Amino acid sequence: MPNIKKADLIPLFSFPRQRILQSMEVTHCPHAVFYNASDEQCTTCHQGEECIWMNHNDELVAIEKKSVDELKQQLLIAVDFIDSNLSPHHLSRRNCQCDNCKWLKKVQQVLDGEGQ
């Protein structure tokens, strides 16, 4: 079991927060990106997944109260999102220094228990 610290996980949330928010068509959302599970508009929205993530992990949510496992899970969703948004030249990402790749590398290190 790698030794994963909450204090290492929490700072990793700010980057995907920005990216996901940027990618969402916030102006078309009648709810200003507040997910409402009982609203059909929300449950059928093509941005639903990103929206749910934002509502679970934005600055208003006390993520420091979540367990390491929960944080890990949410982080992995964010990894999928960032990963699927990489442009084709990231196919060789070993030496890529773009913000996405740097973030992905950092997440990998923390999840492997290597800290900073």
What is the contact surface with Zn ion in residues (CB under 5 A)? 90, 96, 98, 101
Distance in Å, CB of 13 to Zn ion, minimum: 20
Residue (101 or 111) nearer to Zn ion, CB? 101
- Interacting residues of 97 by C-beta distance below 8 A, sequence separation 6+: none
Of the pair 35, 103, the CB lying nearest Zn ion is at: 103
The CA-based dihedral angle spanning residues 23, 18, 15, 2, taken in that order and rounded to the nearest 10 degrees? -80
C-alpha to C-alpha distance for 24 and 4, rounded to whole angstroms: 30
Distance CA(31)–CA(24), nearest Å, equals 13
Provide, rounded to whole angstroms, the least separation between the CB of residue 41 and Zn ion.
Answer: 35
CB closer to Zn ion out of 39 and 99 = 99
Residues 73, 83 contacting (CB under 8 angstroms):
no
Smallest distance, Å, CB 76 to Zn ion?
19
**Smallest distance, Å, CB 106 to Zn ion?**
13
